[in-house]
């Protein structure tokens, strides 16, 4: 099912496209794991969004196996849209967005404790509207957009639980990337073995596969509409 967003590529590429960084100290010291995500940190002309999602889902798999805070208390996601551009937005096709929304709500065995968005820009506004259209009402209620108002963010995630460049005590970007890379290296054989498992959609009863284009009503061609 959707192998493109689950199977990892070559290890030599991982340290470049790790966009989601797990912060070492859980929220309030014994609460949800905070994940700091930078959707605009990779060159969109070099990597596909499915490659990015594959790395994120590999990290999720490791958290489910080894991170008690994430399993018991869930996740709080902080999305930093610094450097997010129209090129990144163009990778967010309707089919990809629907896959992400359905996977997050129906397949991930973790508790979603909220998503906070900072440093938003015009490219984000378009992306956000697309994402919201694919989400359930419950998912939408968990979203908070703070823009550049970090004081508003601090009301939900106290400053000390953020990375250093946001005024916190959770380490620099380079330190967090090095920690994530070390985790991948340590667990790479486990991840490679996991990528061998999945499902054969051809064996689904009735022969009906998970066709996201048709399931969510975005199949067919798009035509220009002229309004008077």
State yes or no: pLDDT of 69 exceeds 80: yes
**CA separation (Å) from 189 to 116, 176, 199?**
33, 22, 20
| pLDDT at 153 (0 to 100) | 96
Report the SS3 class of residue 152: helix
What are phi and psi for residue 205, nearest 5 degrees?
A: -55, 135
Res 83 pLDDT > 80: yes
pLDDT grade for 208, boundaries at 50, 70 and 90 = low
Q: Please report the pLDDT score of residue 7 as a whole number.
A: 55
CATH of domain 3-215: 3.40.525.10
- Whether 209 has a pLDDT exceeding 60, the answer reads no
Of 94-98, 148-152, 224-228, which gets the smallest average pLDDT? 224-228
% the chain with pLDDT above 70: 81
pLDDT value at position 201? 67
Q: In whole numbers, what is the pLDDT of the chain averaged over residues?
A: 80
Q: Coil, helix or strand for 147? A: strand
What pLDDT sits at residue 8?
A: 57
pTM more than 0.85: no
Query: Residue 160 pLDDT > 50, yes or no?
Result: yes
Distances 219 to 42, 94, 95, 96 between C-alpha atoms, Å: 29, 10, 9, 13
Residues 178-201, mean pLDDT to the nearest whole number: 80
- Please report which confidence band the pLDDT of residue 225 belongs to, taking 50, 70 and 90 as the band edges: very low
**In terms of DSSP H, where are the helices of 45-107?**
49-66, 68-73, 86-90, 94-102
Helix (H) or strand (E) holding 132: helix 122-134
Structural contact between residues 33 and 67, judged by C-beta atoms closer than 8 angstroms: yes
Mean pLDDT of 86-100: 83
């Amino acid at each position: 099912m959707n192998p493109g967003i689950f199977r990892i590529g070559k290890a030599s590429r991982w340290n470049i496209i790790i966009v989601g960084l797990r912060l070492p100290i859980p929220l309030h010291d014994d609460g949800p794991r905070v994940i700091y995500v930078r959707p605009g940190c990779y060159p969109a002309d070099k990597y596909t969004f499915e490659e990015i999602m594959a790395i994120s889902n590999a990290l999720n798999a490791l958290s489910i196996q080894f991170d008690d805070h994430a399993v018991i208390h869930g996740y709080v996601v902080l999305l930093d849209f610094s450097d997010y551009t129209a090129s990144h937005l163009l990778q967010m096709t309707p089919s990809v967005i629907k896959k992400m929304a359905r996977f997050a709500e129906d397949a991930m065995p973790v508790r979603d404790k909220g998503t906070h968005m900072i440093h938003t820009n015009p490219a984000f506004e378009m992306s956000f509207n697309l994402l919201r259209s694919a989400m359930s009402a419950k998912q939408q209620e968990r979203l908070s957009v703070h823009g550049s108002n970090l004081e508003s963010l601090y009301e939900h995630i106290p400053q000390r639980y953020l990375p250093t460049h946001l005024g916190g005590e959770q380490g620099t970007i380079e330190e967090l990337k090095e920690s994530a890379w070390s985790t991948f290296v340590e667990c790479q054989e486990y991840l490679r073995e996991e990528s061998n498992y999945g499902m054969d959609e051809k064996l689904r009863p009735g022969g009906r596969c998970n066709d996201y284009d048709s399931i969510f009503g975005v199949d067919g061609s798009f035509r220009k509409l002229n309004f008077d």
